[in-house]
Structure 1
Amino acid sequence: MTQTLKEIWTHLHHNAEISWEEYNTTQYIVEQLKSYNPQKIQTFDDMPGAVIEIGSGKPVVGIRADIDALWQEVNGQEQANHSCGHDAHMTTVIGVFQKLAETDLNGTVRFIFQPAEEKGNGALAMVDKGVADDLDYLFGMHLRPVQELNSGEFAPAIKHGSAKFIKGTIKSADTHGARPHLGVNAIEVASDIIHHMRHTHVDPMIPHSMKMTELHAGGKNTNIIPGKAHFAIDLRAQTNEMMDQLSQQVERIAEHLASYHDIKIDLETGAHMAAAVYNEEATALLAEGIQTIDPDSKRNPITTTGGDDFHFYTLKRPNVKATMLAIGCDLAPGLHHPDMTFNFDAIPKAVDILTATIKQTLAQGDDA
């Protein structure tokens, strides 16, 4: 029995799985779509995720949904949670599949259900699997918070910024609480890192931020000064050039403090998402799709400091023409907030917009 979009979303929302563990999610998606007898269903032995195709020949138009959830505390309990909106993205792409599966297609539509967007390396894994090698166009989508779009508004591009996540370790020896002069307090070194980042001055006209988002030091004995600490830094920049500046500054800060305190500070980049570079043709096609469904809902492309690994598809395969649909849906208090909510009524319209866009894209490919 075919489920409604709301039933699909409800199941996905209540059965969230974190990055690289989305095996049940993958199985559920495949079960939902295999009854339509698609031309291709591809899953992987070494990772979750699925690629499902309908139609045949050129052009090849892709549509991508990220399928992972975040791990965070919700009402006092640590759990996987779709405060990222990926449950809505999966629901939207499944809805597009259901509509297009009943249509005669002049080309191939590839539905990409990608794991680990929140880790920043899921798209790269899919590229390595060859998913984007022969793509002509690729469309994505993302729910937008109330600060960016009102409910029922849609934009044909999301100009994401760059994001980089750096893991660090401060390495020194523990000392007795009564003899602080014999060692280096790793907590104080971490505080120095924060101080220097807050006093980093770069072009204020380009949105950016640097902040420590994780710090672990010390143990069960409060009379020990910890010499070792683990920390994480979240960098954001609207341009790739600004991200290079921020990254170099973090490296300089670590080198300076390591030398000053005569200790070791090791840095490792956990993930790096590049700033978006959008294709004008794909953006125009998506704008036309919005115009076709509801002209009054169309807004200009939006700029956000958030990041998305979607852009690795085009960075690694520059021949792919790509853009993302921005979905206004009363999302509040904000993305990644444990209590995030949104207006589900925006999802059926997003399905209609993306369906119309893909049909128009296939028709254009036919004319070319």
Structure 2
Amino acid sequence: MSEPIQNRLVTVRRSFHRYPEPAWREFFTTSQLVEEIRAIGVDELAVGPDAYDPADRMAVPDEDLEPWLERARERGADETLLDRMAGGTTGAVAVLDRGEGPAIGLRVDIDGLFIEESTDEEHDPADEGFRSEIDGTMHACGHDAHMTWGLAALESIAESDFSGRLVAFFQPAEEAGGGGCPMANSEYADDLDYLLAVHIGLDHPTGEVVAGIEKPLAMCHVDATIEGTSAHAGKAPNEGDNAMHAMGTAIENAYGIPRHSDGMTRVNVGKAEAGTASNVIAERAHMEAEARGETTALMEFMKRRLERAVTAAARMHGCEADIDVVSESPRADSDPELQDLVSEVANGVAGVERVVPAADFGASEDATFLMERVQEDGGLATYLIVGTDHPTSHHTPTFDVDEESLEHGVTVLVETIRELERQHPVTRFENEG
């Protein structure tokens, strides 16, 4: 029998940290998770296409999957699992079905980012030998810690006298906004009374817990390809339709979209590519952009305006635009009832020195799909934050976590699940107004 995860939190987290895989490429990561889940012993385990409908996925890459699959195979991933995940159907759902009681969902994300991890000797993963082994890819947002929490919480509940149903979602593709929707649409999200989602850090220090987020921004990722006509830039520039010029106009107009009086809105073009040579009128341009809003409706406003800016710019320059909404996620706020319960629990956890009842999120998260699903079905959801001292911001080459916070996260989650069991059904507040 392997040593309990609770006794090797640091080892498990570092193992995940060494082998980060981006959205829909989490083949070895899923295999690692399944190995640990099988050792825990659960009542049901669904992997990839058995956990959700692959057609519901968003932001699935058109190519680049096979090299990641082969790399996982070379590393020793379970062949049967790899066959099941072929085509990028990664992730897993584990279920403990322990009789009468509440149905509780726990969501953690599992993907890494396309960031080259620092080799600086002052960066602990580099200094202590658990830096990413995959060039250009890194766990720069703490998902390695999230997976560790998910496994340890699952193990603790499995070994307890818990009565109820616990559904642990090990969700792929959060960074691309692609995995929350299929998980939320799956049968495993049916009839959940409560949902807990969790994140580490986010500028909250070690010893601090935020019981629930508010105002996460609804978000969409938009790709646009502009097709024009090539021509000789010196001899006959008038015969061309300049896709690069059209894209430049589109970018300028996107940043000129007026802000909305109803709340916060955001737009950004993060990647733009065009052209082949200095003496050729560019016939093709590609850009990757995003729009966000304080509400789902505001995000939709920004998305429509962004699409209009690109289409109009293309037409203005005699080009055509093909626009693809790659992924999107809604806004969903934490329920105050669960915020109160998490606050109560966290105040009694050793090492937690400060509990913040609620905090504005200010970013986006596709866990909101699961939150929204549970709330629309009459349940309660919260997205909590377990603080950690991180030397630099999330999504940077020197991001790291204070491993002391691993214990804090497990305890808060486990004790919250047990308290939900004791208090079920948690009384819903009456709506005001």
Tell me the TM-score normalized by structure 2.
0.79
| Residue in 2 that maps onto 1:182 | 239
Q: State how 1:199-238 maps to structure 2 within 5 Å.
A: 199-203=256-260, 206-219=263-276, 221-238=277-294
Cα contact 1:236–1:305 (8 A) shared by 2: no
Code of the aligned partner of 1:351:
V
Cα contact 2:115–2:397 (8 A) shared by 1: yes
For the residue of structure 1 that corresponds to 2:414, the secondary structure is: helix
Cα deviation digits, residues 304-343 of structure 1 (max 9, x gap):
2321111111333422321111122123422222321221
| Unmatched runs of 5 consecutive residues or more in structure 2 | 51-83, 120-133, 428-433
Cα contact 2:232–2:280 (8 A) shared by 1: yes
Relative to 1, partners in 2 of residues 1:300 and 1:365: Cα closer, same or farther, differing over 3 Å? closer
> Would you tell me which structure has more strand in proportion to its own residues?
1
Q: State how 1:221-260 maps to structure 2 within 5 Å.
A: 221-260=277-316
Relative to 1, partners in 2 of residues 1:27 and 1:177: Cα closer, same or farther, differing over 3 Å? same
Cα deviation digits, residues 111-149 of structure 1 (max 9, x gap):
221112222221222233311012111101112332xx2
Larger mean CA deviation between 106-115 and 226-235 belongs to: 106-115
Relative to 1, partners in 2 of residues 1:75 and 1:346: Cα closer, same or farther, differing over 3 Å? closer
Cα contact 2:247–2:314 (8 A) shared by 1: no
Q: State how 1:166-177 maps to structure 2 within 5 Å.
A: 166-177=222-233
The one of 311, 328, 331 aligned to 1:275: 331
| Residue in 1 that maps onto 2:125 | none
Q: CA RMSD in A?
A: 2.2
Separation (CA, whole Å) in 1 of partners of 2:292 and 2:419: 35
The one of 44, 47, 53 aligned to 2:95: 53
Cα contact 2:110–2:172 (8 A) shared by 1: yes
The one of 100, 114, 124 aligned to 1:71: 114
Separation (CA, whole Å) in 2 of partners of 1:200 and 1:252: 10
Q: State how 1:5-44 maps to structure 2 within 5 Å.
A: 5-43=9-47, 44=50
Q: State how 1:124-135 maps to structure 2 within 5 Å.
A: 124-135=181-192
For the residue of structure 1 that corresponds to 2:394, the secondary structure is: coil
Separation (CA, whole Å) in 2 of partners of 1:153 and 1:74: 27
| Unmatched runs of 5 consecutive residues or more in structure 1 | none
Q: State how 1:27-176 maps to structure 2 within 5 Å.
A: 27-43=31-47, 44=50, 45=84, 47-54=89-96, 55-74=98-117, 78-146=135-203, 149-159=204-214, 160-176=216-232
| Residue in 2 that maps onto 1:354 | 413
Separation (CA, whole Å) in 2 of partners of 1:339 and 1:205: 37
Separation (CA, whole Å) in 2 of partners of 1:85 and 1:75: 15
Code of the aligned partner of 2:232:
H
For the residue of structure 1 that corresponds to 2:224, the secondary structure is: strand
Cα contact 1:145–1:330 (8 A) shared by 2: no
For the residue of structure 2 that corresponds to 1:25, the secondary structure is: helix
1:60 Cα deviation from its structure 2 partner? 0.9
| Residue in 1 that maps onto 2:355 | 298
Matched, 1:364 2:423: yes
1:203 Cα deviation from its structure 2 partner? 3.1
| Residue in 1 that maps onto 2:366 | 309
Percent identity among equivalent residues? 25
For the residue of structure 1 that corresponds to 2:385, the secondary structure is: strand
Code of the aligned partner of 2:142:
G
Separation (CA, whole Å) in 2 of partners of 1:72 and 1:154: 27
Tell me the TM-score normalized by structure 1.
0.92
Q: How many equivalent pairs are there?
A: 365
1:72 Cα deviation from its structure 2 partner? 3.0
Cα contact 1:292–1:356 (8 A) shared by 2: no
Code of the aligned partner of 2:32:
Y
The one of 345, 355, 361 aligned to 1:289: 345
Cα contact 1:154–1:328 (8 A) shared by 2: yes
Code of the aligned partner of 1:151:
T
